[in-house]
């Protein structure tokens, strides 16, 4: 069983965050392979089997081994959130993520078997749970899960430095994979009101939670003052959340662009500068 021992040592080292990155890239890439959508195993497509069975079978042992290795480390002198609370947060996040995956799979099968023209209300409800509800659960669960592990790391003392550059690369890859998943998501259409919902508006709760988690990170770093590159998940999660938050800012700027033009059309900047210079404001 030497191979199993090697895997466990890898999960306790830099292999954990690298394994997460590989799974994230694999999950996003598999979504674009049409063969995974077409081929079925019973009522489930191969893609749903991958998401609801294969990936959890890999992720759960990874998280178990790595979290156990964190708890075996000595405690830091300063703690932002207690380990017990973070472990509860981790379990809730995992429940949200897996629950969202299962809801997505089940409602997708139901949507394929309900005549949208015969029963519009039922079909619209199924599509809501299949798309907006389940995707919000999964995305929020994922970023909460990663954040809980990163905060748990900051409660303990790590001596080995993993390097900032590769931590940034892993964080960029994780964040980009999550954003690509959001891009692939298509919002549901309300058949009764004959309208499609704005994709990014249906995911606004994800962006709000991401900003909140970034603020929690900022509080933790200010209080603990850690050596960031001694942790596997702190820098990658900071980069991932920063990418998501930066993208949300771009979305807000895009929405307000027309309004800003309208505002500046009433008050020209050169005229405003002259007024301030002359003391006429």
Average pLDDT value over all residues in the chain: 79
Residue 275: pLDDT over 60: no
Per-residue confidence (pLDDT) for residue 146, from 0 to 100: 92
Q: Print the domain residue range for 64.
A: 2-278
Q: Which of 39-43, 139-143, 260-264 is predicted least confidently?
A: 260-264
User: pLDDT grade, residue 279 (50/70/90)?
Assistant: very low
The string of pLDDT tens digits covering residues 160-197 is 777 788 888 899 999 999 998 888 877 655 544 444 45
Domain count, the chain: 1
Say what percent of the chain tops pLDDT 90: 26
Residues forming a β-bridge with 75: 156
Contact 230, 192 (CB under 8 A): no
The pLDDT of residue 140? 94
Contacts of 224 by beta carbon, 8 Å cutoff, 6+ apart: 76, 78, 79, 80, 154
Residue 209: helix, strand or coil by DSSP? helix
Specify the residue for token string 């480390």.
73
Confidence of residue 1 (pLDDT cuts 50, 70, 90): very low
Q: Decide if pLDDT at 211 tops 60.
A: yes
pTM, two decimals, is 0.81
Residue whose pair of structure tokens reads 């009764």 in the numeric block: 192
pLDDT in tens, 57-86: 999 999 998 999 899 988 888 888 889 999
């Amino acid at each position: 069983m030497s191979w199993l021992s090697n895997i466990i040592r890898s999960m306790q080292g830099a292999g954990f965050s690298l394994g997460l990155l590989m799974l994230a890239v694999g999950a996003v890439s598999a979504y674009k392979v049409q063969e995974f959508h077409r081929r079925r195993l019973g009522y489930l497509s191969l893609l749903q089997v991958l998401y609801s069975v294969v990936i959890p079978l890999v992720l759960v042992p990874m998280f178990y081994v790595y979290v156990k290795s964190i708890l075996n480390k000595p405690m830091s002198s300063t703690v932002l959130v207690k380990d017990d609370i973070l472990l509860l947060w981790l379990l809730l996040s995992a429940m949200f993520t897996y629950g969202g995956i299962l809801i997505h799979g089940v409602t997708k099968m139901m949507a394929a078997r309900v005549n949208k023209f015969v029963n519009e209300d039922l079909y619209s409800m199924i599509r809501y749970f299949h798309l907006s509800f389940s995707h919000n659960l999964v995305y929020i669960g994922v970023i909460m899960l990663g954040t809980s592990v990163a905060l748990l790391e900051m409660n303990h003392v790590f001596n080995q430095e993993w390097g900032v550059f590769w931590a940034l690369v892993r964080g960029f890859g994780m964040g980009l994979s999550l954003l690509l998943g959001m891009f692939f998501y298509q919002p549901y259409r309300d058949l009764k009101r004959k309208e499609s919902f704005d994709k990014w508006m249906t995911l606004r709760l994800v962006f709000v939670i991401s900003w909140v988690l970034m603020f929690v990170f900022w509080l933790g770093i200010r209080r603990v003052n850690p050596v960031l590159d001694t942790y596997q998940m702190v820098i990658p999660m900071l980069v991932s959340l920063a990418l998501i938050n930066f993208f949300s800012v771009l979305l807000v700027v895009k929405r307000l662009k027309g309004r800003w033009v309208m505002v500046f059309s009433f008050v020209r900047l050169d005229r405003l500068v002259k007024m301030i210079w002359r003391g006429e404001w």
